[in-house]
Structure 1
Amino acid sequence: MNMAAFAACIWVIASAIVAFLPMRRQYFPGILLLIAAPVIIVWLGYAYGWLIAVVGLFGFVSMFRNPLIYIYRRLRGETPEVPK
C-alpha cells in the first residue's frame, strides 16, 4: 500500500472519529478534513487512476453532503437553512 492509500485510510478513520464528537467540537477538525479531502482524492487519482478518484469523490460527497450543500447555497447567494 502506498502513501496515498494510507493517507486515505487515515482520513476515513479521522472523519469517523470527528463524527462522534459533539457538534460544537466538530467544526475545526471538520474544516481540516474538508480541506484535506480534495488533496487526498487527487493524490489517489494520480497513484491509482481516475476511477479510484471518482470512487473517493463519491465517498467524500456522501460523508460531507450537508456542509457542501451549505457552502453551495452560500456561494449562490442564498440564505441557507442552518440545522438546529
Structure 2
Amino acid sequence: MLKTLKSKTLFTLFISIGGTFILLFFFISNDYEKLAKSQFKASSTMLSSSIFQTIKGSMSSGDPQLIASTIQEASTIAGVT
C-alpha cells in the first residue's frame, strides 16, 4: 500500500493533521464548557445579589405592601422561585 516516499509522506501528513484537528476540537470544547460554567455562576451570583439588595431596600422602608410587591415582582423573574 505505502510503497513510495510520496505516499508515506502524504499518509503521515493526513494522520498528523487529523490528530491535530481532534486535539484542537477537544481543547476548544473543554475550554468553552469551563467558560460557560463560570459565566453562569457569575450571572446567577449577580442576580441573587441584586434581588437580595432590592428586597433589603424595600424591607428598610417598613411598608408591608411594598415588601410584598417587591417579593412578587422578584418571583416573576425567570428561574427565581
The two structures have a TM-score, normalised by structure 1, of 0.39
The two structures have a TM-score, normalised by structure 2, of 0.40
Larger Rg belongs to = 2
